[in-house]
Chains A and B, each alone.
Chain A
Amino acid sequence: MNPSDQKWQRLAAAARRAPDTRDVMAPFGFSTRVVARAFGAPAASLLERFSLRALGVAAILAVVCVVGSYSTLAGAFDNDSGSVDDPVADMLELAS
């Protein structure tokens, strides 16, 4: 054991001899307060847990639907854009 470690060991040995006279009993009302909090907060019910999972599954399905139908949606917008791109040109074309 090196000298610095001996110093620590002597100090720790002295600290171990220090009496702890503080009360270790629960303060008045402590257990009532803790139990009221512990039992007051209801555990997540089966329905709640199922609902959270269902929400997650629904979100994933929504993303899959959007990705799966992306080409259709994009195509629809492309067709629309042709007709509304230049309404003035369309009018002139009709007039001629």
Chain B
Amino acid sequence: MPEDESFDLAGCLARVRERDQSAARALVEHLYPLVIRIIRAHLPRRVAEEDLAQDIFLKMFTRLEQYQGAVPFPHWVSRIAVTTCIDQLRAQKRRPEFRWADLSENEADVLDAVLTNEDAVETGDALAARELVHRLLDQLKPDDRLVIQLLDLEQKTIAEISALTGWNQSLVKVRAFRARRKLQKLFRELEEKERP
């Protein structure tokens, strides 16, 4: 949700519908933090986040007449952002192979700890863990990746994911199951391969 609670969203939207450009700029600036967080969470590698943000806001303005107020406006924009990200992920067909040799020293240490140790990963390695997670997620199909990311990293519920993506809850569960199975397979393969 955008941070600025004093922002008059309803009034701003009414003015944007009358093609008030200053209101439109204010709306973009108000929603930018929400949109950029979604993009950063789901952004395919090698895609410029600002270009994707621009696409999302252009879609928002194009479809504004379709917004009926059934859900809060930020939720509606979030859905546009998520679907735009997934379209980008689908367009990026090539999924790089996951190899020990491509990991940084920190990432390899974290992976080693996860594979060999029962304890939690140390807090100091959180950044490396995040990079490693993204490398693993790159191995999944775009739809499966989106679901597992929302579920396990953003800790959203199945119902929230369903609302955000427009997929029914059974489909979300199937995609989560498929993603977990693929991740398990990846972990098994990594265990079989020796760290160089």
Contact = CB atoms under 8 A, between A and B. Distances in A.
A11 B155 CA distance: 14
B153 A16 contact: yes
A3 to B, nearest CB: 8
A15 B153 contact: yes
B110 A14 contact: yes
A60 interface: no
Contacts of A25: 29, 32-33
Nearest to A39: B21
A34 B54 contact: yes
A26 B133 contact: no
Contacts of B50: 27, 30
A4 B188 contact: yes
B28 A35 contact: yes
- Interface size range of chain B in the complex: 35 or more
Nearest to B187: A4
A37 B25 CA distance: 12
A33 interface: yes
B174 interface: no
A74 to B, nearest CB: 49
B152 A24 contact: no
Contact of B121 (A13, A20, A33, A37): A13
Nearest to A33: B54
A19 to B, nearest CB: 7
B184 A34 contact: no
B13 interface: no
A63 interface: no
A5 B115 CA distance: 11
The 8 A-B residue pairs with the shortest CB-CB distance in the complex, in nearest-first order: A14-B121, A14-B129, A4-B184, A18-B126, A38-B61, A24-B33, A26-B32, A31-B28
Interface of A: 2, 4-5, 7-20, 22, 24-27, 30-35, 37-39
Interface of B: 19, 21, 24-26, 28-29, 32-33, 36-37, 40, 50, 53-54, 57-58, 61-62, 110-111, 114-115, 120-123, 125-127, 129-130, 132-133, 136, 152-153, 155, 180, 183-185, 187-188
